Amino acid sequence: MLRIVSLPIPCILLYGGMGSKLTALFLFGVLAFTDYLDGVLARRHGTTPFGTLFDPIADKIFITVVYIPFVQLGYIPLWTAVLLFLREFLITEMRRLLSQKKLELRVTELAKSKTTLQMAGAAFILLAYMISDRTLILSLFSLPLLGSLIIIVMGLIRKRSISHRIVLALSCFTYILVIRLFFTPSWSAFLYMLVIIGFTYASGLQYVLVSYPVWPEIPGYPLRAAMRLVSGFLVPMVALVMLHFVPHLSWMAILILSFEFASQGLDTWVSTMGREEKRKDWVKHAVLIPIALAVGVAFLIFTETGVMAVAFLCTALVLSTLYMAADFYGHRKLLITGMNPD
């Protein structure tokens, strides 16, 4: 919860000067550390249903408030962000559909590595644009590489084994150093985004393969389930694409995606409690989503694309806010007690 509530502060600082960006980088690092700390506490004291489901949502909101500003600032192309978030919404919605039949989709090691790469990649992309001196680049980017090598040597001496996460970190830090030494900031950011997208979809494919045998148990499989998957990402993805026409309204897209991730997380949690909310699902998929799309189409027909983009973002933001507020208020007892009040 601390990670979610605090994220707007470094997000705003990204739009400032060098000092603001450095402060944002530091705060992002602190908030990313809470993800590691949360994992340590979970392994030591055990997990909770709330933590199991909302920790991935907090991670998704984290990357939302980082990578969407990167698009507006020109650090990464819009289409790379669209690919990144498309996978996130698909897997989150698939997890929700499976949870309705008490089918749990556990977080895999590859998915954990993907999240680490996304967070570390955000720091690298920011630093790639902030630092231009090659000597400073070599000095700064060599530190994590040296740290990884030291950890590997210590692991070999003490346990005669190497953690696959450390090997992954060493590979990534080496890749980061090499591409930043030989490529411009824009190309460096783009090449690292390709790695992030590759890991993101590899982990998504792993989820698909693991869950494939139980797909027939999803309500409405295959046609209605496929439509639910599509409707689950339709509004946030269209909102993200609208930034091509109105990049200065990226804050709207950040809020829309964050609210959608939060609602998906809560709905998934409620489903694991054995509570099917068909009426609420019908309102979202048969009323709210068509309204947002209809507004966009209407303004596209009668006005220019810029006006259409503003109208769609405003409508989507209002509907996403209302749905999330109603969702959280309706389950306030569940959020407070951690148990099904029924």
For the stretch 226-247, pLDDT in tens is 888 888 889 999 999 999 999 9
Identify the CA nearest to 83 among candidates 187, 188, 201.
Answer: 201
pLDDT computed for residue 340 by the predictor: 54
Contact 300, 308 (CB under 8 A): yes
Exposed/middle/buried for 44, CB within 10 Å: 0-12, 13-18, 19+?
A: exposed
The mean pLDDT of 319-333, rounded to a whole number, is 89
SS3 of 217, please? Answer: helix
Tell me how long the chain is: 342
Q: Is the pLDDT of residue 314 over 90?
A: yes
Q: How confident is the model at residue 103 (pLDDT cuts 50, 70, 90)?
A: low
Contact 218, 97 (CB under 8 A): yes
The mean pLDDT of 84-104, rounded to a whole number, is 80
pTM of the model as a whole: 0.89
What does the block give as tokens for 335? 């959020």
Other Cβ atoms less than 10 A from the Cβ of 242: the count is 25
The mean pLDDT of 97-106, rounded to a whole number, is 69
- Cβ contacts of 250 within 8 Å, gap of 6 or more: 68, 69, 71, 72, 243
CA distance 270 to 281: 12
The mean pLDDT of 294-322, rounded to a whole number, is 92
Identify the CA nearest to 15 among candidates 64, 62, 69, 66.
Answer: 69
Instruction: Supply angle C-alpha 32, 37, 43, rounded to 5.
Output: 135
Q: How confident is the model at residue 72 (pLDDT cuts 50, 70, 90)?
A: very high
Identify the CA nearest to 117 among candidates 168, 79, 72.
Answer: 168
Task: Choose the most confident range, by mean pLDDT, from 115-129, 140-154, 317-331.
Answer: 317-331
Percent of the chain with pLDDT strictly greater than 70: 94
Q: How confident is the model at residue 341 (pLDDT cuts 50, 70, 90)?
A: very low
Q: What is the pLDDT of residues 108-118, one digit of tens each?
A: 777 778 888 88
The mean pLDDT of 320-334, rounded to a whole number, is 88
Q: Is the pLDDT of residue 144 over 90?
A: no
Q: What is the pLDDT of residues 262-302, one digit of tens each?
A: 888 888 888 777 776 778 888 888 888 999 989 999 998 88
What does the block give as tokens for 278? 């068909």
CA distance 55 to 53: 6
Instruction: Supply angle C-alpha 34, 14, 204, rounded to 5.
Output: 55
C-alpha distances out from residue 182 to 128, 145, 322, Å: 12, 17, 48
CA distance 220 to 125: 42
What does the block give as tokens for 332? 């306030």
pLDDT computed for residue 100 by the predictor: 67
CA distance 122 to 129: 11
Average pLDDT, the chain: 85
